[in-house]
Structure 1
């Protein structure tokens, strides 16, 4: 009398057997030609070879899209680097330190197409204390600037720095850059704030990277050291 199987063979058992017996299809090559699969693009049956060719084509398409994305990102990075260099060059050419804050803001607006840019600097040398950029920042704003270890990007929730802009009502998203001596992430107290604003809510969003903004803050801080 036969005994019924208590542990029937499963699909996993078959898959494991085939994976661990690579010469199976060498001994039974006729099975490969007989295998029929359903095409993912229609209801018709296709051979295993045709299905594999289709899968390879899909993988190639995915790789092509990734390569195009890499090329596009690379081109965008080159353009940004060129703009950053032109902006930095303009700062080197400023003869009068009093013109630096305006030059920084104006060139950022022009080179990077930022609709509104504001800047305040404090702790300046006595000969620069009368300038507009040296006035208007409260103690709370100065503490806020020093608390930023990296640029803030996000929606406008009523920051004081927004009032430094030409049209505060049009500022929907912001990038707020602390200005301080030392590299990005330094704990040195800030001596200024640079504010970039856009009416586009997604222009400066909380998920965006801040590496490029950090480079702008470092260069602006270095240029503004002439005021201190």
Structure 2
């Protein structure tokens, strides 16, 4: 045990000395080529300089991969941001509120290449009740929507909102976006839900970021809130 401890202390002392005395290798340059180490790419022996160069190349490759990932993610984010901008324009152009739900879902599906999209609304003004977008929503579904304070992403677990999609059995992953009339973190003012479905189990993975989905939820909420009943205070005014 003592010999092992002594060896560790000796190696530490040597390492400290070399770090504090870099001119050592200037005085003993032959050691850079004389010391033989195992290569990281096989059983062959290489010099200290060669091994250091190999390690440097490996670090450069890791950094290159990270930079490429950053560039790819940056490009993807920019593309999504542009699509959200175009989608917002499509919503703003709608004058007839009776057409708004269809335009919202159809443009969302087309611009973001989402295989299936469904929308359900409740507590809307009387002129907009009785449409396909307001039918078939149970109290449990409303309570479930109100309980979500952020978009839900994950596998198709058979939630009622998934059955609003045209082909629910073909869906492997879903995103559920609650629509709120007001603060997004409130559970008392939910008035609808957007359902996005895909046959790809990884399209809406539980570990994915939800920043852009939250933005879509906010924009859809703001647009569709025009179909809500006018508050009495405003109506009287």
TM-score of the two chains, using structure 2 as the length reference: 0.87
5 Å matches for 1:63-102? 63-102=63-102
When the two structures are aligned, how many residues end up with a matched partner? 223
Q: Secondary structure at the match of 2:190?
A: coil
5 Å matches for 1:156-175? 156-175=156-175
Q: Distance in 1 between matches of 2:211 and 2:105?
A: 19
- Structure 2 alignment gaps of length 5 or more: 229-237
Q: Is 1:26 matched with 2:24?
A: yes
Corresponding residue number in structure 2 for 1:3: none
Q: Is 1:37 matched with 2:33?
A: no
Corresponding residue number in structure 1 for 2:49: 49
Corresponding residue number in structure 2 for 1:208: 208
Q: Distance in 1 between matches of 2:23 and 2:212?
A: 55
Corresponding residue number in structure 2 for 1:16: 12
Q: Distance in 1 between matches of 2:185 and 2:207?
A: 18
Q: By how many angstroms is 1:183 displaced?
A: 4.3
The answer (yes or no) to whether the contact 1:25–1:32 under 8 Å persists in 2 is: no
The answer (yes or no) to whether the contact 2:117–2:195 under 8 Å persists in 1 is: yes
CA RMSD in angstroms comes to 1.9
- Structure 1 alignment gaps of length 5 or more: 1-5
Q: Distance in 1 between matches of 2:185 and 2:48?
A: 56
Q: Distance in 1 between matches of 2:154 and 2:116?
A: 15
The answer (yes or no) to whether the contact 2:145–2:178 under 8 Å persists in 1 is: yes
Corresponding residue number in structure 2 for 1:7: 2
Q: By how many angstroms is 1:213 displaced?
A: 0.7
Q: Distance in 2 between matches of 1:102 and 1:140?
A: 25
The answer (yes or no) to whether the contact 2:40–2:54 under 8 Å persists in 1 is: no
Q: Secondary structure at the match of 1:202?
A: coil
